[in-house]
Amino acid sequence: MTAPWITYRPELRVLDCTIRDGGLINDHHFSDEFVRAAYHACLEAGVDYMELGYKASKQVFQRDRFGAWKFCDEDDVRRVVGDNPTSLKLAAMIDAGKTDWRTDVLPKDRSVFDMMRVAFYVHQTAEACDMIKDAADKGYEVSANLMAVSRATETEIAQALELVAETPTQTVVVVDSFGSLYAEQVERLVKQYLGYVKERGKEVGIHAHNNQQLAFANTIEAIIHGANRVDATMGGLGRGAGNCPMELLLGFLRNPKFKIRPIFRFLQDYIEPLRNEVEWGPLVQYNITGQLNLHPRSAIQARGNPETRLRYVEFYDRILNEEC
Amino acid sequence: MTAPWITYRPELRVLDCTIRDGGLINDHHFSDEFVRAAYHACLEAGVDYMELGYKASKQVFQRDRFGAWKFCDEDDVRRVVGDNPTSLKLAAMIDAGKTDWRTDVLPKDRSVFDMMRVAFYVHQTAEACDMIKDAADKGYEVSANLMAVSRATETEIAQALELVAETPTQTVVVVDSFGSLYAEQVERLVKQYLGYVKERGKEVGIHAHNNQQLAFANTIEAIIHGANRVDATMGGLGRGAGNCPMELLLGFLRNPKFKIRPIFRFLQDYIEPLRNEVEWGPLVQYNITGQLNLHPRSAIQARGNPETRLRYVEFYDRILNEEC
């Protein structure tokens, strides 16, 4: 009898994407102090990977409109983490279609990053495979994050997985971008992903959003069915409804290498003050877009306007009329 | 193939306990207008049962310290719902050890209530069985709610279920009072309960708390494993971390008799203003007591004091020292 709630798998790895996913709320304008505190919290908590941001194209995104964590230039990152002489591995996300990856992803021996996470929609799988190979050739560990999987068909997913399984990526992540999946759908997807990649020695990951207050539950479900790479953020910080909260995840995981106390300190000292500046969490509009398997953009818009942020019925009616 | 997320069971019944569980935050001081609006929201949403409060002993609880919904006198209830000429059934909770049930539970033909929900801890099972029989004899549908089941052993639960199964109760509810259960534990409990009561034609229910943001997920899990009676509250209103949010539950259930729009209206018009007066939800202190399977009282206390409400580390250290 192995009960996940009380046992642990040593091979399970936790990735903190507080700064990367949280950056989507504030255009990546985190202070060095904030990022440094998050880094130390992850380190002390025994988290395995920390994702700091994107390596976004400076052709597409204006350098002065965004904070440093949109681009993750080596100098900016090293100002905070030095040469990272620790066991905490650092990751950056590179988006298909929005990254000058040939030039901006440096050879690993010139970078403080350990992992590149390639984010792509199913129609971008070809570019994603090129990106994965490029990053692997440059010496990085690679993760393939197929986004918005709740909007893709099983055939589309199968076709993408077939191609991705041939690449040198170490991990393929089930990404519930819209926070619309229920546990039984997560189970099905994790099993489908494992079917394509397990025999090649690759791992399956889970990245859940909290629109229906299911991010933590779905992360547990994925773990139960074999996912060994799990994403979370401190305080659930993240765009819209936010992510699986790290403080809940570490309370569930029984590997004694994980310490939850440093997370509570970060929540107290950094996340709570941030709540006065930006809003995230499973608020009603996000419940609605999650239930309807929609991108949260209209919910983000409604929440951002003081006139409309609490007009739930109007929002519901409009979504039903315009988007369903 | 029956996928609960897309199919429905016509026999599944939803109970709204917004006023009853929410009353634990504000000593049951809801205005008639508030309760009337909740009643109409339930009615329009197609909810099956609405629980209005307790029938607490006036020997134990001072009449003037609490709102009307602590006692649910017929006159108070009828002032809001009239004779309830609707299909929405009304329930009151009667606590073992805190209720003058022989006198205060009137014969059904003199009451607007349809159901009595008997709440008891495992050591109160004997009184609970007497209460169940009394309420059934008086003409009510009865539900048996064995509380704090996460702190009882399987043997204790089995002994309680053996006795309760012999009573005329129609339903036995799995009550996760501390919000500490994970899905696999919910599955085990629902199956255990069904083993005792199913062949006698009784139903199993679920009442989940949201300390670990698992109330909705655990409710789904219980449904998947055969629970046909489910509790929820609008906005998740309820003591401490609150309950399974009705707006999430109805978004999941596929029975077209349920309408979610009236719930959004109640959230907008009544729940949001209430947030300025009382606090509830899966806040960090409740995460901690849930993870440690503790009564939320120390968390409620810490949240109630402006000096301590955001001192998470201090709270965590104290709980580890004093309660674990």
pLDDT band at A220 (very low <50, low <70, confident <90, very high): very high
Distance of CA A157 to the CA centre of its chain: 19
Q: Which residues pair with B272 in a beta bridge?
A: none
Give buried/exposed letters for A118-138 (b at 16+ CB in 10 A, else e).
bbbbbebbeebbebbebbbeb
Quick one: which of B299, B47, B293 has its CA closest to B176? B293
Distance between CA atoms of residues A162 and B102, nearest Å: 68
Average pLDDT (B246-270) is 97
> B78-87 long-range contacts, Cβ below 8 Å, gap at least 24?
B78/B112, B79/B32, B80/B32, B80/B35, B80/B36, B80/B39, B81/B36, B81/B39, B81/B112, B83/B112, B84/B112, B86/B43
Quick one: which of B63, B51, B146, B137 has its CA closest to B92? B51
Q: Write down the pLDDT at residue A3.
A: 84
Quick one: which of A314, A299, A300 has its CA closest to A26? A300
**Could you tell me if B8 lies within 8 Å of chain A, comparing CB atoms?**
no
Nearest residue on chain A to B185, judged by CA atoms?
A: A5
Is A8 inside a domain boundary? no
Q: Are residues B268 and B308 in the same domain?
A: no
pLDDT of residue B2 exceeding 80, the answer is: no
**Which residues of chain B lie closer than 8 angstroms to A313, CB-CB?**
261, 264-265, 268
pLDDT of residue A29 exceeding 80, the answer is: yes
Q: Are residues B307 and B189 in the same domain?
A: no
Contact A248 B4 (CB under 8 A): no
Residue that terminates a domain, selected from B234, B253, B274: B274
pLDDT, tens digit (0-9, with 9 covering 90-100), for B41-51? 999 999 999 99
pLDDT, tens digit (0-9, with 9 covering 90-100), for A126-135? 999 999 999 9
In this prediction the ipTM stands at 0.96
Question: pTM for this one?
Answer: 0.97
Q: Are residues B261 and B218 in the same domain?
A: yes
Is B181 inside a domain boundary? yes
Radius of gyration of chain A from its Cα atoms, rounded to whole angstroms = 19
Residue that terminates a domain, selected from B253, B274, B295: B274
**Could you tell me if B302 lies within 8 Å of chain A, comparing CB atoms?**
no
Q: How far apart are the first and last CA of chain A?
A: 45
Contact B247 A183 (CB under 8 A): no
Answer whether B323's CB lies under 8 Å from B293's CB.
Answer: no
Q: Are residues A103 and A190 in the same domain?
A: yes
Q: Are residues B199 and B303 in the same domain?
A: no
Contact A210 B213 (CB under 8 A): yes
Q: Write down the pLDDT at residue A247.
A: 98
Contact B264 A247 (CB under 8 A): no
Q: Are residues B159 and B289 in the same domain?
A: no
Rounded to 10 degrees, the C-alpha dihedral A219/A220/A226/A229 comes to: 40
- The CA–CA distances, whole Å, from A313 to A28, A43, A297, B244 equal 32, 44, 17, 20
Q: Are residues B82 and B18 in the same domain?
A: yes
Name the residue range of residue A185's domain.
Answer: 13-274
E strand intervals along A147-300: 171-176, 203-208, 229-232
**Could you tell me if B210 lies within 8 Å of chain A, comparing CB atoms?**
yes
Total residue count of chain B as it appears in this document: 324
Q: Are residues A77 and A215 in the same domain?
A: yes
pLDDT band at B3 (very low <50, low <70, confident <90, very high): confident
Nearest residue on chain A to B253, judged by CA atoms?
A: A291
Q: Are residues B200 and B292 in the same domain?
A: no
Token pair of A306, please?
């003081």
Q: How many domains does chain B have?
A: 2
**Could you tell me if B226 lies within 8 Å of chain A, comparing CB atoms?**
no
Q: Are residues A192 and A248 in the same domain?
A: yes
Average pLDDT (A166-181) is 98
Answer whether B303's CB lies under 8 Å from B296's CB.
Answer: no
**Which residues of chain A lie closer than 8 angstroms to B214, CB-CB?**
216-217
Answer whether A230's CB lies under 8 Å from A205's CB.
Answer: yes
Contact A313 B261 (CB under 8 A): yes
Kind of pairing between the strands at A229-232 and A13-16: parallel
E strand intervals along chain B: 13-16, 49-54, 89-95, 115-120, 141-146, 171-176, 203-208, 229-232
Average pLDDT (A158-166) is 98
pLDDT of residue A2 exceeding 80, the answer is: no
Q: Please provide the DSSP assignment of B174-196 as one string.
A: EEETTS---HHHHHHHHHHHHHH
Q: Which residues pair with A176 in a beta bridge?
A: A208
Is A42 inside a domain boundary? yes
Q: What is the DSSP letter of B11?
A: T
Out of B5, B260, B265, the one facing A182 most closely (by C-beta) is B5
**Which residues of chain A lie closer than 8 angstroms to B266, CB-CB?**
none
Is B41 inside a domain boundary? yes
Is A119 inside a domain boundary? yes
pLDDT, tens digit (0-9, with 9 covering 90-100), for A35-50? 999 999 999 999 999 9
Q: Are residues B23 and B114 in the same domain?
A: yes
pLDDT of residue B298 exceeding 70, the answer is: yes
Is B8 inside a domain boundary? no
Contact B268 A216 (CB under 8 A): no
Q: Write down the pLDDT at residue A1.
A: 55
Nearest residue on chain B to A308, judged by CA atoms?
A: B268
Q: What is the CATH number of the domain that holds A184?
A: 3.20.20.70
Q: Which of residues 149-208 of A touch B (CB under 8 A)?
A: 182-185
Is B279 inside a domain boundary? no
| Amino acid occupying residue A9 | R
pLDDT of residue B21 exceeding 90, the answer is: yes
Choose, out of A292, A307, A316, A324, the residue to mutate when testing the contact with B (most B CBs < 10 Å): A316
Is A1 inside a domain boundary? no
Contact A310 B248 (CB under 8 A): no
Report phi then psi at B216, rounded to 5. -70, -45
Q: Are residues B221 and B290 in the same domain?
A: no
